[in-house]
Amino acid sequence: MTQSITLCGKYLAPGGHLETGCVTVEGAQISQTAAAGSSTLPLPPGAVILPGFIDLQINGAFGMDVTDDPTPAVQTLSRRLPERGVVAFLPTVVTSPVGGYPAMLAAVDLTPAPNGAVPLGLHLEGPFINIERKGAHNPAYICPPTPENVRRLINPEKVRIISLAPEMPGGLDAIRAIRAAGIIPATAHSMATYQQACEAFAAGAGYGIHLFNAMPPLHHREPGLIGALLEPSAPPFGIIPDGVHLHRAVMGLIFRSRGVEGITLVSDAMAAAGLGMGNHKLGDREIIVDETSARLHDGTLAGSIILSDDAVRNMVRFGICDLPSAARMVSETPARVLGMDDRKGKIAPGYDADLVVLDENLQVYMTIIGGEIAYRRESI
């Protein structure tokens, strides 16, 4: 029997503004939005209904690391992320020995947990990055994007994004090969000049990873990868809005430059997200987590300890943008990057019934995935 759910309150309309009305779900799709009606489920005061969140870059959380143990980590993330409003995600594997990728890709199981967030494919961050901008990646595993190495990572059934430094020898050919295989090439951990970045976009790079991080600073005579990604015609890019990876003033500049259409909010979370302070792992490297950040022993940032709901709250709390804009950057724009914006990322008839309900404090009250309640807080 097809389940029907109606939620009434303020909801994010396709035009990017909040409307008061009702959203009805029939089975796995949104069947209608209406100006009036009755909720079939109680909602907290001041509730806001948003498209479910999509995280394009998450290395782990809740004590699990995707690189270290992919299948159990994916299952844990799938099961737990609805608590944070996430309906779909790209489990992210950091730089690893290149010879091990084929076996890992063959073995990893991307089946979601029952009523869990859906893994839409892996994000392979590395190993074709620039050692000068390695960040927390293990330099011993960084390698060139030769045709043979690229083929080891090509698995369209399991992989959605491969991030690389386009200026590396063979980088543009790698981007073309990745794009031809139906996978999204992205720029990351790079020393690319402005011209090299523009050549990467022309070759098919369709996304940029954590703007300003793991790339040279913006310079007035050599804008570099940052300047290229800030161009209106450039592909969208991710930012980590934790207040650590980017200063609030820079986040404001980025938003005013590219707006909702050019930005995705990513967690770039690592295993310690959701756990608290202590020593944890990122791949095979030990990470120290304090109240605000995750770092290597030398102080290098190693992913974040926020999740998607934190990202939305931070954008609003920091005064960068309003709630509709923040919500679109973690739903509509990621769906467009993935080529899934015809069915995900909006509240409209015919779209997937992936919804998150926030209370007046922007805390997650309920998450619906494919028309099923994946998470509901006990108290209103």
Q: Distance between CA atoms of 91 and 88, rounded to whole angstroms?
A: 10
Strand partners, 33: 23
SS3 content of the chain, % helix, strand, coil (to 5): 25, 25, 45
Q: Secondary structure of 91-117 in the HEC alphabet?
A: EEEECCCHHHHHHHHHHCCCCCCCCCC
Instruction: Look at residues 74, 128, 97, 144 and name the one whose alpha carbon lies nearest to residue 284.
Output: 97
* 268 in active site: yes
Exposed e or buried b for every residue in 203-223, given b needs 16+ CB within 10 A? bbbbbbbbbbbbbbebeeeeb
Strand partners, 184: 161
Cα dihedral value 124, 375, 51, 231, nearest 10: -30
The three-state secondary structure class of 126 is coil
Of 242, 268, 309, 310, the catalytic one is 268
Instruction: Look at residues 8, 39, 38, 1 and name the one whose alpha carbon lies nearest to residue 22.
Output: 8
Cα dihedral value 287, 292, 298, 301, nearest 10: 80
Q: Distance between CA atoms of 39 and 55, rounded to whole angstroms?
A: 28
Q: Distance between CA atoms of 185 and 205, rounded to whole angstroms?
A: 5
- Tokens describing residue 356: 């998150």
Strand partners, 237: 208, 263
Counting Cβ atoms within 10 Å, is residue 69 exposed (0-12), middle (13-18) or buried (19+)? Answer: middle
* Interhelix angle 194-203/171-180, nearest 10 degrees: 30
Strand partners, 7: 23
Residues with catalytic function: 268
